[in-house]
Amino acid sequence: MKGLLLKDILSLRRQSKILLLLLLFYFVFAISQNDTGFLQGIVALICVMLPISSLSYDEAVKWDRYGLSLPLSRKTVVFSKYLLGFLMDFFGSLAALLLSFLTISLTKTGDAAGLLLTSLVMFCVGLLFLAVIFPLIFQFGPEKGRLLLFAIVLLPIVAAFFLNKLGIRLSGFVWRPAYGYLAPAVVLALLFCSVLISTRIYEKKEF
Amino acid sequence: MEPVLELSGVCKRYGEFCLDHVNFQQPKGSIMGLVGENGAGKSTIIKLILNLIARDAGEIRVFGFPNREEELRIKESLGVVFDECSFPDHCCASDVGAILRLIYKNWDEKAYRLYLDRFSLPEKKAVKDYSRGMKMKLSIAAALSHRARFLLLDEATSGLDPVAREEILDVFWEFVQDEEHSILLSSHMIGDLAKIADYIALLHKGQLLFCRRKDKLLEEYGMLRCGAGEFGEVDPALVVGSRRHEFGVEALLRQGKGPAPKGMEPAGLEEIVLYHIKGAKR
């Protein structure tokens, strides 16, 4: 497991510079605009894209057949990808949160509790994203999996757009901050199911 | 003789292709060459041993253990090299060492450094900047540095220049000097196998045509080059495969009980393999 994580982190190393640049860019943007929304929203999502890149790299060098010739079970291989995703999302969100705190202390506006909640929600959105995309990628490969993800993300947006056009509104649902604190439990449960599904897919795969 | 590898009644179907009830045993301490055309089933056999694909029937044992039930235990002692190097492009040789040290219980960093040195592989150069020969050597260094007892090599010497091939065959030969060590290698370079293999298994369209000691094969078969008239007198049961041309016939013959036909010469491994495939196609 540790070996697999190290392998993925080393192969993602070349993207770390771009990542740091982006972080810096959104930090400067946040200070100048007095708005930490982008910083918190985008950085975590970019971080969860990384495990998907690592799956593309694996495919390009036919890593799977080699990895499975080492003393590693298929469960371990699947779990290591989820762990990588979790860690990337966690550290990405944490970095964004810390920079956001720094931003509001520099600009002396905004509220810290709100930032914490936003980061928590973005962290959960990242995990939700992973829970959906991993089984798709394990089943269809990184290229098709990515396309399917776009379809899945776009569908509700398009649906909402048309519902709105038709004048239908979802009523009776009022967002409360408390839902934000519930999100981790829901997302972790989904993530758990996703791991089970991916493991089943991967156990049956032939290389 | 204790087998390192046993396949019994192994079947695998992929669409048109079907690996059909393959049985063979490889004795411990030997080098076995898997030969056959592209698509004959060589890689399929290696993948089945590694449980990368699921077999439809049969049984496979490695070191005496069933390959699926004892998968991880077997893989601790296996060294595997495929036709392509699978290390991440941006990693260098010392990264590969750092990764594998965390995966193999018996990783031997000292042995790894010695192989890197011997193969003149720079430690800090990214794998993507390696030549094909260097990539193969790196894969082989990795396969030999965790006290493996059995090497599985799938086309590991193809695409290498003759000097690099020779160097790598030497390493394989040294490896089997320990009686506990064995190698199974698939290759369509029959010349390489003729040099180092003790046993030859020939596959054709998913069928195992034979699995024999190389020296027995060389003793058992001979080449006859003669006129069509003389060829007519040869017992057809002894003819494995033949080729007619303008000036007569070339045929691979099995040694019969009686005296060999006049003019029969020793056959090379390449001829034995080619005429068996030709005979099977007929």
- At A101-144, the pLDDT tens digits run 888 888 877 777 888 888 888 888 889 888 988 999 999 988 88
Amino acid at A88: M
CB B194 within 8 A of CB B188: no
Per residue in B207-248, pLDDT (tens digit) is: 999 999 999 999 889 998 888 888 888 888 888 888 888 888
Of B102, B89, B160, B69, the C-alpha closest to B129 is B89
Please give the share of chain B, as a percent, with pLDDT higher than 90.
59
Q: Answer yes or no: is pLDDT of B48 > 90.
A: yes
pLDDT of res. A204: 92
Q: What phi and psi values does residue B10 have, to the nearest 5 degrees?
A: -80, 125
Query: Which of A33-37, B12-16, B61-65 is predicted least confidently?
Result: A33-37
Per residue in A73-82, pLDDT (tens digit) is: 999 999 999 9
pLDDT of res. A107: 80
What is the nearest CA distance from B261 to chain A, expressed in angstroms? 49
Amino acid at B33: G
Q: Is B161 exposed, middle or buried (0-12, 13-18, 19+ CB in 10 A)?
A: exposed
pLDDT of res. B208: 93
How many CB atoms sit inside 10 A of residue B166's CB? 13
Q: Answer yes or no: is pLDDT of A172 > 90.
A: no
Q: Which residue of A has its CA nearest to B102?
A: A3
Tell which B residues from 144 to 173 touch A, by Cβ distance under 8 Å.
Answer: 152
Q: What is the pTM of this model?
A: 0.87
| Alpha carbon distances (Å) from A22 to A19, B86, B106 | 5, 30, 41
Q: Compute the average pLDDT of residues B256-282.
A: 83
Q: Residue B254 — very low, low, confident or very high, per pLDDT cuts 50/70/90?
A: confident
Per residue in B6-44, pLDDT (tens digit) is: 999 999 998 888 998 999 999 999 999 999 988 889 999
Per residue in B134-175, pLDDT (tens digit) is: 999 999 999 999 999 999 999 888 778 888 888 899 999 999
Q: Please provide the average confidence, as pLDDT, over all residues in chain B.
A: 90
CB B263 within 8 A of CB B226: yes
Instruction: Classify residue A205 by its DSSP letter.
Output: -
Of A61, A63, A206, the CB nearest to B52: A206
Of B128, B281, B125, the C-alpha closest to B209 is B281
Instruction: Scan for tokens 């003759």, then name that residue.
Output: B162
Amino acid at B183: I
Q: Compute the average pLDDT of residues A28-35.
A: 81
- CA-CA distance, B136 to B144, in Å (whole number)? 12
CB B115 within 8 A of CB B144: yes
What is the nearest CA distance from A71 to chain B, expressed in angstroms? 5
pLDDT of res. B282: 65
Contacts with B152 from chain A: Cβ below 8 Å: 69
B95–A3 CB contact, under 8 Å: no
pLDDT of res. A41: 79
Q: Does B143 touch chain A (CB under 8 A)?
A: no
Q: Suggest the residue from A8, A56, A65, A76 to mutate for an interface test with chain B (most B CBs closer than 10 A).
A: A65
Q: Does A73 touch chain B (CB under 8 A)?
A: yes
B103–A72 CB contact, under 8 Å: yes
B100–A13 CB contact, under 8 Å: no
Instruction: Scan for tokens 């099977």, then name that residue.
Output: B280
* Adjacent-strand bridge partners of B8: B59
Contacts with A6 from chain B: Cβ below 8 Å: 98-99, 102
- CA-CA distance, B53 to A4, in Å (whole number)? 21
Q: Suggest the residue from A6, A54, A69, A80 to mutate for an interface test with chain B (most B CBs closer than 10 A).
A: A69
Token output for A92: 């990405």
The residues spanned by each domain of chain A are 2-204
Q: Answer yes or no: is pLDDT of B65 > 70.
A: yes
Instruction: Classify residue A71 by its DSSP letter.
Output: S
Q: Does B86 touch chain A (CB under 8 A)?
A: yes
CB B28 within 8 A of CB B195: no
> Does B20 or A44 have the greater pLDDT score?
B20
Please give the share of chain A, as a percent, with pLDDT higher than 70.
95
Of B213, B210, B188, the C-alpha closest to B201 is B210
Q: Does B260 touch chain A (CB under 8 A)?
A: no
Q: Answer yes or no: is pLDDT of B258 > 90.
A: no
Radius of gyration of chain A (CA): 19
Instruction: Classify residue B16 by its DSSP letter.
Output: T
pLDDT of res. A175: 65
B95–A10 CB contact, under 8 Å: yes
What is the nearest CA distance from B197 to chain A, expressed in angstroms? 23
Q: Is B187 exposed, middle or buried (0-12, 13-18, 19+ CB in 10 A)?
A: buried
- CA-CA distance, B186 to B45, in Å (whole number)? 9
What is the nearest CA distance from B118 to chain A, expressed in angstroms? 24
> Does A165 or A97 have the greater pLDDT score?
A97
Q: Please provide the average confidence, as pLDDT, over all residues in chain A.
A: 85
Of A14, A66, A70, the CB nearest to B82: A66
What is the enclosing helix (H) or strand (E) of A99? helix A74-107
Largest CA distance in chain A: 58
- CA-CA distance, B112 to B116, in Å (whole number)? 6
Q: What phi and psi values does residue B249 have, to the nearest 5 degrees?
A: -130, 145
Q: Does B126 touch chain A (CB under 8 A)?
A: no
**Residue environment code for B243-261, b if the CB has 16+ CB neighbours within 10 A, otherwise e:** eeeeebbbbbbeeeeeeeb
Q: Does B237 touch chain A (CB under 8 A)?
A: no
Q: Does A16 touch chain B (CB under 8 A)?
A: no
Contacts with A60 from chain B: Cβ below 8 Å: 89
Contacts with B65 from chain A: Cβ below 8 Å: none
> Does A34 or B53 have the greater pLDDT score?
B53
Q: Compute the average pLDDT of residues B193-206.
A: 91
Q: Does A65 touch chain B (CB under 8 A)?
A: yes
